[in-house]
Amino acid sequence: MIEHVLEGKLRLPEAVAKRAVRSKARPFIVEPEVTINNQWSDRYTVIEVSGLDRPGLLYQLTTAISKLNLNIASAHVATFGERARDVFYVTDLLGAQITAPTRQSAIKSSLLHLLSSEDQAAKPAA
């Protein structure tokens, strides 16, 4: 490609634009999942999040968890190919597990929305 640009056979802005468009298409569809569990720990509520990895995802997740008034005691982060799987050990602001079903549902809904909002934009048009 560099040779073609130097020879004048290819314009650099066009080549970069084609490459940028191609990089936005994701070859894999990774369905977002959020699991909330109080049985895996006696002290913490465990939130397991799985979805399509992207730059800034961990920051977005931790910001969302903080805005939900949860304290993160521990985070375990892993990426497998294009799938991010992050596990957070959290408590409420008083240091207790999240036991109310409505609160768990609100947390799950918020995190699923965060994961799926970027997924929808990244999917190739069918």
- pLDDT tens for residues 75-92? 999 999 889 999 999 999
For residue 61, is it within any domain? yes
Number of folded domains that form the chain: 1
Which pTM does this prediction carry? 0.72
> Per-residue pLDDT averaged across 98-111, rounded?
96
56 is in which domain, residue-wise?
A: 33-122
Q: Exposed/middle/buried for 111, CB within 10 Å: 0-12, 13-18, 19+?
A: buried
For residue 11, is it within any domain? no
For residue 115, is it within any domain? yes
Q: What is the pLDDT of residues 28-75, one digit of tens each?
A: 678 899 999 999 999 999 999 999 998 889 999 999 999 999 999 999
* CATH number of the domain that residue 111 is part of: 3.30.70.260
> Per-residue pLDDT averaged across 94-107, rounded?
96
For residue 111, is it within any domain? yes
